[in-house]
Amino acid sequence: MGTEGASTHETVVTGTGAMSLTYAPEGPATPRDEFRSLVERLSRQSVEKHFDAYADVDWDAAEMAIDASDPRWELIDFDPLAHTSWYRAQPPQVRARLGLHRVAVTMRTGWEFENLLQRGLLSHAFWMPNGRAEFRYVHHEVVEESQHTLMFQEFVDRAADRAGLRVGGMPWRMKLGAELLVLPLARVDPALFFFFVLGGEDPIDQVQRRRLRAGIAHPLLERIIRIHVTEEARHLSFARRTLERMVAAMPRWRRATLSVAVPLVLGVMVRLMLATPRAFAKEHGIPRAVVREATRGLAHRSLLSDSVRKIRRLCASAGLVNPVSVVLWRAVGLWGPVDPADRERASGAPETR
């Protein structure tokens, strides 16, 4: 193969002698070629490095046992509830039990979200024509999300059994709304569906990476999070690149409507994944004033804003940040510092805390 922009030559020997053939110059790779290469690489990685919920987690090892009074379960430092005087005043055993319950609730909510993601991806793949590299990768992702679901629920069941915790996930109204509104997006509005996907995956990914950097004391939680982060890196890469292609092909009016819808969707999703659930607060007798303190303080606002930093950057580079959308980003509490280039795309509307 010749270099880009150069003619290629081939000598063919026939029955009457040698004949020289000259081909047209090879052009640069198209965006479609680059996207296909990415998806094929992600598929290869899914084959080369993947995990099984039971073969790759030694659930019955002594060091993996769950003890609700184990101080290693206490809330992480950057959890807004950990900053309240009410939490700090609790005995160590209470703090540990509350922290374990918090992890279990997050895992239950996480696999419920991944259930919606899997069904949406399968619906997205259902109508794909032959020859699409995305078909294979989407099914790799569905398989990996199923393993995450098994892993998360195994943790939930063991926490509930050994610590006597009642572990709930999404409120039933939200589950019903997801069934009726979110799942159809995979066919009706795939771009908004993929932003919904990022709204669930990116915040948890950011939190889990922070936990890994800080060091996770309990080996069971460390193993689960490390597996999840490793495979989610592929899922997030696919979602972002898919969105870049979708948005680039949209007419201006469609990008304008999407720029309004995205912060509203994220405003719901991010709080679902990171905020203190009402049922959880009731279970532990957390006063409403403490919940308000935890959800309105600087630590909480920073956590929410930082969790969607990459999504904001994606929106800015895709032309989905404008003065109107900035108002909505601020209204839902997800506007924070971004790169100077992103700020320019927001038509001179600087971000503030």
Q: How far apart are CA 326 and CA 346, in angstroms?
A: 7
**Highest mean pLDDT, choosing among 104-113, 298-307, 331-340:** 104-113
pLDDT, average across residues 264-272: 91
For range 283-287, the mean pLDDT: 90
- The answer to which of 131-140, 158-167, 254-263 has the lowest mean pLDDT is 158-167
Q: Are residues 267 and 179 in the same domain?
A: no
Is 270 domain-assigned?
Answer: yes
269's tokens: 């999703």
- CA 347, chain centre distance (Å): 28
Distance CA 155, CA 66 (A): 9
Same domain, 271 and 135: no
The pair of structure tokens assigned to 38 is 């990415």
Distance CA 20, CA 37 (A): 32
Task: Please indicate, yes or no, whether residues 203 and 174 belong to a single structural domain of this protein.
Answer: yes
Number of domains within the chain = 2
141 lies in some domain: yes
Output the six-digit token pair for 260. Answer: 């309004």
Question: If you average pLDDT over every residue of the chain, what do you get?
Answer: 86
Residues 111 and 232 in one domain: yes
| Residue 197 and residue 234 in one domain | yes
Q: What is the dihedral of CA 335, 338, 341, 347, to 10 degrees?
A: 20
Are 242 and 264 members of one domain?
no
Domain holding 266, by residue range, is: 250-275+297-309+316-353
| Statement to judge: residues 214 and 255 lie in one domain | no
pTM over 0.85: no
Q: Judge whether 290 lies within some domain.
A: no
Q: Where does the pLDDT of residue 149 fall: very low under 50, low under 70, confident under 90, or very high at 90 and above?
A: very high
Find the range with the poorest average confidence among 5-9, 193-197, 264-268. 5-9
Residues 205 and 258 in one domain: no
CA angle 324, 328, 329 (to 5 degrees): 110
Judge whether 350 lies within some domain: yes
Residue pLDDT, tens place only, 188-225: 999 999 999 999 999 999 999 999 998 888 999 999 99
- Choose one of 247, 263, 287: the last residue of a domain: 247
168 is a domain residue = yes
100 and 143 part of one domain: yes
Residues 215 and 72 grouped into a single domain: yes
Q: Are residues 184 and 258 in the same domain?
A: no
Classify residue 10: in a domain, yes or no.
no
